[in-house]
Amino acid sequence: MSDNIIDKGFLTRLKGAYQAKYGIEMDEWSAMVLYEISENFEDNNKVAENTIKEIEKASNLIKGQLKPIHFANEGQAYNYGFGKSIPYAIAILAIGIIFSFITIDILEYRELKSTTANFRNYKVLIQHGVIEEQKGHLFLILNRHNEKADSVNVGKEFFLTKDNETVWIPLGPKIP
């Protein structure tokens, strides 16, 4: 809005123009509001025109920076697109392989950690047990527990419900 003061003569001319155009008499308040609306519309119209000019300038600048690519056939276009995307595909594949190796190592570490946490129990078993080698494998040999005895010999006896008298427990992979 402008800071100009509207005089009565201007409002009278505005009311007369409105009455001549529409055939309806307008009061002074309506004339002032109409003037304010038209003044704001003119300001907004100028801003919109400036904005449109700025957008056109930016659009022309962007269009000038584009470099279109033309291919002789679809095969060339495919190879170009494949060549653009293959480095990203290889990078994603490498990251996936590294991630899987890390995940496998973490799982193996957790398994080893749980085994070593229980090692105290295995240590007593192996210290008192008999170890023999057969066909390149190490075995822990245990005998059946005598059910009539009051105590159990740790590392030497086991409980079994079948008819076998001994159990051979492999302690690792085959020795080379």
163 within 8 A of 148, measured Cβ to Cβ:
no
Task: State the DSSP H helix or E strand holding residue 169, giving kind and residue range, or none if neither.
Answer: strand 166-170
The verdict on pTM exceeding 0.75 is no
Placement of tokens 């990251």 in the chain:
95
What whole-number distance in Å separates Cα of residue 133 and Cα of residue 28? Answer: 116
Q: Please check whether residue 154 is in contact with residue 142, taking contact to mean a CB–CB distance below 8 angstroms.
A: no
Stretch among 40-49, 85-94, 95-104 having the lowest mean pLDDT = 40-49
Q: Partners of 11 in the beta sheet?
A: none
**Segment 113-170, tens digit of pLDDT:** 876 776 666 666 667 777 778 788 777 777 666 666 666 555 555 555 555 666 666 6
Task: Give the β-pairing of 130-134 and 157-158.
Answer: unpaired
| Segment 23-30 mean pLDDT | 85
Name the packing angle between helices 74-117 and 119-128 (round to 10°).
Answer: 60
Can you give the pLDDT at residue 1? 45
Q: What is the mean pLDDT of the chain?
A: 78
pLDDT higher than threshold 90 for residue 51: yes
